[in-house]
Structure 1
Amino acid sequence: MRSMITGILLVYSSCVYAHEPKSGWQYDAFCCNGNQHTGDCQMIPSQSVRIIKDGYLLTLGPGEHRLVTRRHIFNVPQVTTRRSEDSEYHLCLYPNEDTLRCFYAPDMSF
């Protein structure tokens, strides 16, 4: 039992440590799946994000996120948006490119 718990903690801690933006802050553990090369979280271009009433409209095409293979439009409410710690936009897609799991944005200013 002890070795199983230790194994789970090692997997969890390595995921949190390995899956972080280049600037060094960490994505929330809920959002973390994979690592910087194979993970579902990464920075997206600011041109893909439009601030709308009560949130954001994301329009992504292939190449704007490692998992995106076709055009996607996501409407993200402000209340579900997480705070980016590097003033960039970040998107986590999991378990596939059709499912937005976490969206990070810098503080809004109108």
Structure 2
Amino acid sequence: MRLSVHRRSSILISISCLFLAGDGVGAHEAKTGWRYPYACCSNKDCREVPARMVNESAEGYVIRTTGEIISYDDKRIRHSPDGVFHWCSISGKADTKTICLFVPPKAF
């Protein structure tokens, strides 16, 4: 039985969609089990960091290792689901630019 070109294309697209929708495509998990969003991570960029690595200033969050200031309204700032800081930087290196910064809620 021969499949038409249209039918073969449909099958390939379906298989591709299943593959892309699979578990863990391009993302990895924090220690507590939540997944870093694909936009922040390519399996090596994100990790939990101690609170002392991120300072707050009038201008925004300051990454101590790079001196980078990320304003409080920057789209790279994300809510931390587990209450600790997570930093995603280019290639996961300590001296590169921030991709995302997961910030715990402020204490009252």
Task: With the length of structure 2 as denominator, give the TM-score of the two structures.
Answer: 0.70
Q: Is the 8 A contact 1:15 1:33 kept in 2?
A: no
Alignment length, in residue pairs?
Answer: 92
- Residue in structure 2 matched with residue 86 of structure 1 by the alignment: 82
Return the index of the structure with the highest Cα Rg: 2
CA RMSD of aligned residues (A): 2.2
- Residue deviations 1:15-68 (CA, integer Å, cap 9, x gap): 36x61111122222211211xxxx1100111111111114211112xxxxxxxx
Runs of 4+ in structure 1 displaced over 6 angstroms? none
Structure 1 unaligned residues grouped into runs of 5+: 61-71
> Secondary structure at the residue paired with 1:47?
helix
Structure 2 unaligned residues grouped into runs of 5+: 1-11
1:102 aligned to 89, 92, 100, which one?
100
**Whole-Å separation in 2 of the counterparts to 1:30 and 1:58:** 20
Report sequence identity in percent. 25
Q: Is the 8 A contact 1:40 1:93 kept in 2?
A: yes
- Structure whose residues are more often strand by fraction: 1
**Whole-Å separation in 1 of the counterparts to 2:68 and 2:100:** 11
